[in-house]
Amino acid sequence: MATIALPRPLPRYRSSSPIPTLSTHSINLEGINTSAACPIPIPNKHLPVCPPGPVPSEKPDTPPASPPTKHVKLQPQSLLYPPTNYKKVTHNSSAVYLIDAAGVAAAVNHISEQPLPEASQVFPWLHGLHPANHVQQAFFVARRKALRKTPECYRGVTIVKADGNLSCSRLKAAVSTEEFLQTATAEFKDIDPREGFSVRNFQIQAAKTAMLSDIIVYGEDEKQVIKIGSDIARAQRVRRQGLKALGHEAPVYHTFVCTSHFEEFEEHHPEIVVADSRGEMTGNVLDFFHQERVEMATMTKASEIARNVWLGPTDDLSMSVPSPEDEPFDLFIECSDLGRANVPALKNIARELDSGAETSQYVEFPSSGSIMPPSWPLTEADDIVESCKWIYNLANGIRPSDDEEVTDIEGDSPMPSPTEARTSRPRKILIYCTDGYTESSMLALAYYMYAHGVTVSEAYLQMHIDKRRNFFSYPSDVALLNSIAPSILSNSPALAHSAPQDITQRIHDEPAWLSLMDGSLPSRILDYMYLGNLGHANNPDLLRAMGIGQLLSVGETAAWTAADIASWGDENVCVVQGVQDNGVDPLTNEFDRCLAFINRGRLAGTSTLVHCRVGVSRSATICIAEVMRAQSLSYPRAYCFVRARRLNVIIQPHLRFSYELLKWEEMMQVRRGEGVKRELEWGEIAREIAAMNKPYSR
Supply the pLDDT for residue 351: 85
Q: DSSP character for 462? A: I
Contact 220, 262 (CB under 8 A): yes
Supply the pLDDT for residue 145: 60
Cα–Cα distance list, 33 to 142, 233, 282, 341, 348 (Å) = 47, 35, 9, 36, 39
SS (H, E, C) 182-204: ECCCCEECCCCCCCCCCCCCHHH
2-6+17-38+289-471+475-516 falls under which CATH superfamily? Protein tyrosine phosphatase superfamily (3.90.190.10)
Supply the pLDDT for residue 75: 65
Supply the pLDDT for residue 408: 43
Between CA 281 and CA 32 the distance in angstroms is 8
Between CA 128 and CA 117 the distance in angstroms is 18
Q: Which residues of the chain have pLDDT under 70?
A: 1-44, 55-75, 142-147, 315-326, 373-378, 401-423, 698
Contact 654, 197 (CB under 8 A): no
The domains of the chain are located at: 2-6+17-38+289-471+475-516, 70-279, 523-696
**Do 2-6+17-38+289-471+475-516 and 523-696 fold alike per CATH?**
yes
The pTM of this model reads: 0.89
Edge-to-edge, what's the strand order for the sheet holding 213-218? 88-91, 94-99, 255-258, 213-218, 156-161, 174-175
Between CA 444 and CA 119 the distance in angstroms is 46
Supply the pLDDT for residue 381: 82
Edge-to-edge, what's the strand order for the sheet holding 607-611? 523-526, 529-532, 607-611, 548-554, 573-576
**Architecture category of domain 523-696 in CATH:** Alpha-Beta Complex (3.90)
